[in-house]
Structure formats: structure tokens, C-alpha cells
Amino acid sequence: MKRLNKSLAALILAAIIILSALAGCLAGFGVGKEHKGKASHILLGLDLAGGVSITYEAQGGNPSDKDMNDTVYKLQKRVEAYSTEAEVYREGSNRINVEIPGVTDADKILEELGQPGALVFATVSGEGENQQFTPVLTGSDVSSAEANSTTANGVKEYVVDLEFTEEGATKFADATEANVGNQIYIFYDNEVVSAPTVQTAITDGRAQITGMENYDAANELATTIRIGALPLELKEVHSSVVSAKLGKEAVANSLKAGVIGFAAIAVLMIVLYLFPGFIAVLALTIYVILMLLALNGLNVTLTLPGIAGIILSIGMAVDANVIIFNRIKEEIGQGKDTKYAIINGFDKAMSAIVDGNVTTLIAAAVLWFKGSGSVKGFASTLAIGIVLSMFTAFVVTKLLINVFYQLGVKNPKLYGSKKPAKVIDWIKISRVCAIVSLVVIVIGLVFLPINKKNMGKILNYSLDFSGGTSLSITFDAKQAADAALTEKVKGDVAEMIDDNNIETQIVKDENQIILKTTKELDLDQRAEIEEKIRKDYKVAEFEKENITSSVSKEMRRDAVVAVVIAIILMLIYIAFRFKDIRFGAGAVLALIHDVLIVFCLYSVFKFSVGGNYIACMLTIVGYSINATIIIYDRIRENLKAMSRKKDGYAAIVNTSISQTLTRTIATSLTTFVTVAILYLFAVPSIREFILALMAGIVVGVYSSVCLTGPIWYFLRTRFGKQ
């Protein structure tokens, strides 16, 4: 009776926590309210909120950390005039990223932002309406400005110490000699930032501004003087102007996809796993709530790929539950009572779940460190989803299933029963599969020179991998984006930039055309094109992106490096956890296979290869290795349970794959369904990305079932003791 009361109390407490968390989500996110640049507390990336994104590169050698930090400070102060939600941050040693959501006059911002601020020291002549400021020094005459403190007669005073160049020292000496007792005004960007009074003539090239109210005030003035005297020249290497219209549609459609995907998973889980499936639905509900709270609490910036990551993670979140429930069904099928089946199910599933999710986290971590802004958003939501899925499986699901067991849900029929799997000769099947895979990979490689001949490049590189300028023009309902209109607009742009090599794409769903040129158009050219297009056609939205070839080369290199790093780290982790390098080698060979097969999709069908491509590849790598580890974990278990001399390694491998086949199909099905639903509702700009993910899920299942076990068998029998 006491145990029953505790179970009821735990169930009631869990219900209260769920309802409170849900209420907190709805209240915290301000359902039905609009926030500039935000979905309440969840920050929206520029691809959803719209706005301007710029990357500047410092010219002329390696700038000091101090100069770079001062420049970041200067730009941050400037962008705050456009939006309080603007952000400026360093990238590497010589680049600065600027993101300004929600702005409309993008060209004006691009024109003004990167210009050096004018720092001027000036004296005053005349009075009243005849008063005039006569400049005596500029920022180039200042060599340093530092905030300090001094103590006189026991009183601490905050000051700014200035040093001038040799030429500046001479100018300042003349100015102070002529203005003892008068003020010298310091202007930055035409605003007075300080007006100290000259106490005496200063001839040694050093001056001190006194009377600062605190250290922060002194430091702010010193920084302002320094940034006005910065020798750094900034060059725009990447810029993007995005409309917010697409973001609103993407969020709305993704919410629909999420709800439908959740419902589909709920039905599948209950059909496949009966009562535990119902528990999984409850756990998945808590998972979604926790995900919303995490996005809110961690201030994650939500991007278009990030939304895809959330939808994908919902499908993957049931993976741990599937592993556990299959184990419970196996235990019941072996004659165990419900209580011990539940205990053993969680215990035996633990290592596979942890290892599978850690390797996927490795892929997400590499993606975050090596990816660009929107790809980082995808990596963030994917990583959060992985962590939360483990928590809900081992804490929430376990709590709920034990509570209901104590409440009397003990009948084994409610949990299902799994008879011993029929063993299939997967090693024999793998020989045919290996030939099929080889043929597909060769086809993908053969298309590279064909693409080079037809397109001038081996792959359909997007702007971030090729460099150049992209113009996305969305027309209003009165003017349809058809082939005739596209050719006319292309001709106008080609004439203006003197380049006939312009790629075009029609996005009918958005009534939009996209023009791409490998030429890096400057701000004036982009503004001139927009002005003409808006004048001659009925334009609703005009988006622009520009990226230099140097940045695009770096992004291509980073993409290759990211995949290599992820695979190496996974090899090390698997070899360490399984204490057998052949498991790691088998997993890596299968991952390389998956990457090459999906690469074939990009090669043959000319999918756009850019930042989202690397996100797709690493997600496939992480997802595929998850399924591989489930099989390897069962092989490791059967190496102890089955007789190697009697059964042989072939029987162990075939049995292990057959035993885990139901789990592999169930998990892949739930994930595939959610991603497929997202594809149906997704905006055109990420459909290729989602389609490649769908292909990757299928390829991952195929390689895990048909290749990874046989590869390990080959390595084990050829390179190791029997």
C-alpha cells in the first residue's frame, strides 16, 4: 500500500511538473505576441528575422588583439543605433562578424558601418551664432589612450593618459600654448565625447584628462579615442541582406510539420510497443517541453537549419526508448517476468544508448566549431536534443514505466513479447551489397568530369563555396516569375555588370528568381542593380548576398577538415569503448561509404554544395554510426554469450544483426517519417538539405545492417586471433 501511494504521488508530481513547465513555456514565449527579431525569448537568426549580416577583414598585416577588440567595440556602438539586438563578435585573428536583425535600410547600413570614425581635437573661436570649431589634431595624431587612476592627498582620481605621435606632439603643443584656460573639444563621429580645459602648455607629447567620475567612464573615453585613431582598414568579405518574410513562413510551416510528425511518431510507437509506446509518447511530450525551455534558457539563436535540427531530434529522441523497449520485449520472450524484464531492458540498453549518442554528439560538436552561423544553429539544436533524449530515456521513461508498474500495469501482454529472431545470412548478402555500393559510388565520381564540362565546375557549389554575388528577387502576385521574365532580368543584370555567365533559378513556390554570378559586386553595384530592378519590375522583396573567393575557399577546406576530424574522433572513441580497433575501423569504413553514397546524390542531381552540405554530411555520419553501434554492441555481447568454436564468428555476426533488425527499422522509420513530413512543409531553400538527410537515413540503415557487421567479420577473421 505504501509503495502504491508513493507511485501515485510520483505520478501526480510528474503531471504537475509537466503542466507547470508547459505553462511556463507558453507564458515565457509570449504566445500570440510579436517581438522584433525574437520569438519571445528565443532569438531568431537572420534567415528567420531578416536583416543584415556582414563579415569584415582587417587589411594590412596581422592586427593586434587590442586593435581588433577596439574595432569590435566601435562597431558594436555603431550597430546599436540600428538595432538594440545587433551583435558584433570576432572570428579568428583578423575578422569581425556583424549581425543586425530586423532592419530595412540595408544598403545604407552597409555603406556607413565599415567607414572609419572621425576623431577630431578642436578649439573654439567666436561667440554665439558666430562660434566656430577649428580642428587642431585628428585621430592619426594619437598613438595611445589608456584609462588609469592616480592618488593625490589620499584621494583617488580616474584619468585618461594620452600619447601623441611626433607630429601630433608638435600640433598639440601649439594648441595648448594658445589655449591655456580654454577648452579643447574632442569629437568622435561629430559628437562631443569630452571637453577638457587646458591647465598649462603641454610640449612633451603626453597629456592627461582628469576629472573622470569613475574608472568605467575613463575607460570608455580612452576606448573611444583609440578607436577613432585606429589604423585598421576593414574590407567587406561577406555580406547578406535577408527579408523576414521567408522566416515567418518557415516558422509556421515547421510548427505544422512538428505537430504532424509528433502525432505520427505517437501512433507508430503505440502500435509497435503497446503500453511502453504510450509511455514513450508521454516522455516525448516532456522532451519537447524541455527542448523549448532549453532554447529559451540558453539563448540559442534559432535558424532555418536549426528548426530542421529540432524536427530531426524529435524523430531521434525515441531511439533510446526503442532500444529499451526492444530489450524488454526480448526479456519477456525469454520467459522473464515483467519486473525483471524492465530492469534488464534498461540495464542492457545503457551502453548502446550512451555510445551511440556520444558519437553523434562528436559530430554535432565538430559541426558547431567548424560551421558558419546558420549551421551552428543546426548543431546547437541537434546537440541539445541528443542530451535531452538521453535524460528523458533514462530518467523520465524509467520513472513513468516503474510508476505504472507499481500501479498495477504488470501484464506481460501489455509490454509485448519478442521471439528469437530468425537468423539471416547477412555476410552472404553483404557481398552483393558491396558490389551495388561500389557501382553507385563510381557513378557519382563519373559525373564529376561530366559536370565540369556542362557547368564549368565539378559540383554545383553554392555562393559560400564558390564566392561571388547572389540576388534573390521575389515578385508580387501581379508578376509571375517564369522563364521569360527570368531571361529578361538576367539580361538587364548581365548588361549592368558586363558578365553573361549568370546562373538563374526559378523558385515557383515563392514566385522568386535567383541570380548568381562569380563576380564579387561591390556595394554600389548591388545598390544600382536593386534600384533598376525595383523600378522596372513589380518587386516584393530583394535579397542580396556577397562573399569573396578567399572566404569561400576557406569554407570548402573547413568542410573537408570537419568530416575528417569527426571520423577520426569517432574511430578513437569506438576503439576505446570496444577495446578493439577493428570495431572502430569497421565503423569508419561504413561512414566513408555513407558519405560517398550521399555525395553521389549531390554529384548526379546537382544539389547545391555549401554550408548546409557539411551539416548534412556530419548529421548522416552521426546518425549512421548510432545504428552501427547498436549492432556492434550486440556483437560484443554475443561474443561472450555464444560459443566461438561451436558457432563461429559468422554466426555471431548474423545473429547480432538479426536480433537488432527490428530496432533499426523502427528507429529509422520514426526519424524518416518526421523528416519526410518536414520536407513536405519546408520552404524551398532547405528542401535539398532535407532530401539529402532523408537519403542519408536510408543509406545509414542500409550500411549498418548490410555492411558494418560483415566488415567487422572480415577484419576479425583476416587480422586477428580466432
| Cα–Cα distance for residue pair 550/712, rounded to 1 Å | 42
Determine the pLDDT at residue 33. 38
Q: With bands split at pLDDT 50, 70 and 90, how would you rate the model's confidence at 19?
A: low
Name the CATH code of domain 51-116+235-241 (choices 2.60.120.1440, 3.30.56.10, 3.90.79.10, 3.30.70.3400).
3.30.70.3400
86 contacts 99 by C-beta, under 8 angstroms: yes
The reply to whether CATH 3.40.50.620 applies to domain 468-547 is no
184 contacts 122 by C-beta, under 8 angstroms: yes
Place of cell 548522416: 620
For residue 533, what is its C-alpha cell?
A: 530592378
The answer to whether domain 51-116+235-241 and domain 468-547 are alike in fold is: yes
Architecture per CATH, 119-229 = 2-Layer Sandwich (3.30)
Say yes or no to pLDDT of 409 above 90.
Answer: no
List alpha helices for 479-608, DSSP H.
483-497, 523-536, 549-578, 581-604
Determine the pLDDT at residue 5. 63
How does pLDDT run across 299-343, given as a tens digit for each residue?
Answer: 777 777 777 777 777 777 788 888 888 889 888 988 888 999 999
Residues 156-180, mean pLDDT to the nearest whole number: 91
Q: With bands split at pLDDT 50, 70 and 90, how would you rate the model's confidence at 6?
A: low
338 contacts 332 by C-beta, under 8 angstroms: yes
Determine the pLDDT at residue 4. 57
Share of the chain above pLDDT 70, in %: 90
Share of the chain above pLDDT 90, in %: 17
Residues 675-690, mean pLDDT to the nearest whole number: 82
183 contacts 175 by C-beta, under 8 angstroms: no
| Cα–Cα distance for residue pair 431/427, rounded to 1 Å | 7
How does pLDDT run across 530-581, given as a tens digit for each residue?
Answer: 889 999 998 888 888 888 877 777 777 877 787 788 888 888 888 888 888 8
How many C-beta atoms surround the C-beta of residue 60 within 10 A?
10
| Cα–Cα distance for residue pair 14/653, rounded to 1 Å | 42
Q: With bands split at pLDDT 50, 70 and 90, how would you rate the model's confidence at 460?
A: confident
155-164: strand order across its sheet: 142-152, 155-164, 206-212
Determine the pLDDT at residue 652. 92
671 contacts 697 by C-beta, under 8 angstroms: yes
| Cα–Cα distance for residue pair 390/349, rounded to 1 Å | 11
Determine the pLDDT at residue 479. 85
List alpha helices for 392-461, DSSP H.
398-406, 426-455
| Cα–Cα distance for residue pair 566/625, rounded to 1 Å | 11
Say yes or no to pLDDT of 50 above 80.
Answer: no
How does pLDDT run across 624-675, given as a tens digit for each residue?
Answer: 887 888 899 889 889 888 877 767 899 999 999 999 898 888 888 888 888 8
How many C-beta atoms surround the C-beta of residue 719 within 10 A?
10
Residues 447-454, mean pLDDT to the nearest whole number: 92
Please give the single-letter amino acid code of residue 128. Answer: G
Determine the pLDDT at residue 371. 67
How does pLDDT run across 195-238, given as a tens digit for each residue?
Answer: 999 999 999 999 999 988 899 899 888 888 887 766 677 888 88
**Residue 145: exposed, middle, or buried by beta-carbon count in 10 A (0-12, 13-18, 19+)?**
buried
Q: So where are the chain's domains?
A: 51-116+235-241, 119-229, 243-442+552-718, 468-547
Please give the single-letter amino acid code of residue 194. Answer: S
Determine the pLDDT at residue 37. 40
How many C-beta atoms surround the C-beta of residue 641 within 10 A?
10
Dihedral class, residue 459 (left if φ above 0, else alpha if ψ from -120 to 50, else beta): beta
Q: What's the chain's Rg over C-alpha atoms?
A: 32
Residues 371-380, mean pLDDT to the nearest whole number: 70
Determine the pLDDT at residue 119. 84
Determine the pLDDT at residue 2. 60
Write down the pTM of the prediction: 0.71
| The length of the chain, given as a count of residues | 722
Determine the pLDDT at residue 706. 93
The widest CA-to-CA distance across the chain, in whole angstroms, is 108
